[in-house]
Amino acid sequence: MRTPVTVGVIGLGAWGPNLVRVFDELPGADLRWICDSSSAAVLRAKAHVRAARATASVDELLADESLDAVVVATPPSTHYPLARRAVDAGKHVLVETPLALRGEDADALVHLAEASGRHVMAGHVLLFDPAVRRLKELVDHGRLGELYYLTSQRLGPLRVPREENALWDLGAHDVSALLYLVGDEPIEARAHADEYGQPGLADVILAALTFATGIRAHIHLSWLEARRTRRITAVGSERTAILDNAESERRLTLWERDPLADVLSPGLAALEPLRVECEHFLAAVRSGAEAVAGVREAAAVVNVLEALQRSLERDGAPEAVGATQPTPGVLPFPART
């Protein structure tokens, strides 16, 4: 029997407790630490994982030489510095999206991870959704014909105040899925934004990505919708595939160009994407194999988001992806202090 990977989770806010639950349940993991500056959050998590040690000190967690891997589930402005500290401490890292807030920081993590031999993987959970994986197979095997374009929608009400705009809070998931489905990185990005709530914090984003092949991807993000929508559409010359999370039984449908043809709904495995993601991270740590959402893929997503942010600031002007660095020391939105 393989020795479990020892894991510590930093951040017990909105998403951290889910990661604590999964790593505590997985037989391939040994959850050793939970960490948060909030004593109330630590107490809530500790009630469910009594075997894990609790701390408010990141330094104490990182000093544990028996700890193999660290999970970072803190606010986005802290992702890069915490991930870097964890790698410097000799740990493998799973960091929630986005990997960083600047392309230069994301690229620095690429070099650091590769030089140290440590895995740095981003929590792009959509890439582990059975419906997204099946859609990828349909695209790659030519079941849609020639791929024309893709659209993604991530809409819903904002329940918890955010420090970042809708692009950086919501967009990382959709960008990662679109790059995964196309199997390429875009060359150009455009984005428009509207602000209805907090000044300087965009609530609604309309964005477009252009790939060298001519394929386009369109993204609609909003915090202001009444209904929660998570939908990806891939339009090809022969068929259109729609992935709709609002459909409980037919999440993925395949529509023929012929309106009289049958609508197909491929069978999907009943798997929790977060659990699959965490299992994949553990397997990568054990084997040294490349991760699906590895550090290079995560950095590519950050570079796309950065280009979209530059376009937002230039009222929708086209921006080359990765071509221009942002102003040093300036974040794309107000950082939490």
Q: Containing domain of residue 244, as a range?
A: 126-271+303-320
According to the model, what pLDDT value does residue 313 have? 93
CATH of the domain at 21: 3.40.50.720
Are residues 159 and 255 both part of a single domain? yes
Same domain assignment for residues 19 and 141: no
Per-residue confidence (pLDDT) for residue 332, from 0 to 100 = 52
User: Do 143 and 258 sit in the same domain of this protein?
Assistant: yes
The pLDDT of residue 290 is 83
pLDDT band at 260 (very low <50, low <70, confident <90, very high): low
Q: What is the domain-level CATH number for residue 240?
A: 3.30.360.10
Q: Is residue 329 part of a domain?
A: no
Residue 330 has pLDDT above 60, yes or no: no
pLDDT over 90 percentage in the chain: 77
Kindly state whether residues 254 and 134 are assigned to the same domain. Answer: yes
Q: Rounded to two decimals, what is the model's pTM?
A: 0.91
Average pLDDT for 196-219: 93
Per-residue pLDDT, 127: 95
For residue 336, pLDDT over 60 is answered with no
In the prediction, which pLDDT does 199 show?
Answer: 81
> Three-state SS string across the chain, please?
CCCCEEEEEECCCCCHHHHHHHHHHCCCEEEEEEECCCHHHHHHHHCCCCCCEEECCHHHHHCCCCCCEEEECCCHHHHHHHHHHHHHCCCEEEECCCCCCCHHHHHHHHHHHHHHCCCEEECCHHHHCHHHHHHHHHHHCCCCCCEEEEEEEEEEECCCCCCCCHHHHHHHHHHHHHHHHHCCCCCEEEEEEECCCCCCCCCEEEEEEECCCCCEEEEEEECEEEEEEEEEEEEECCEEEEEECCCCCCCEEEEECCCCCCCECCCCCCCCHHHHHHHHHHHHHHHCCCCCCEHHHHHHHHHHHHHHHHHHHCCCCCEECCCCCCCCCCCCCCCCC
Domain count, the chain: 2
| pLDDT, the chain, mean | 91
At residue 295, the pLDDT reads 94
Tell whether 60 and 190 lie within a shared domain. Answer: no
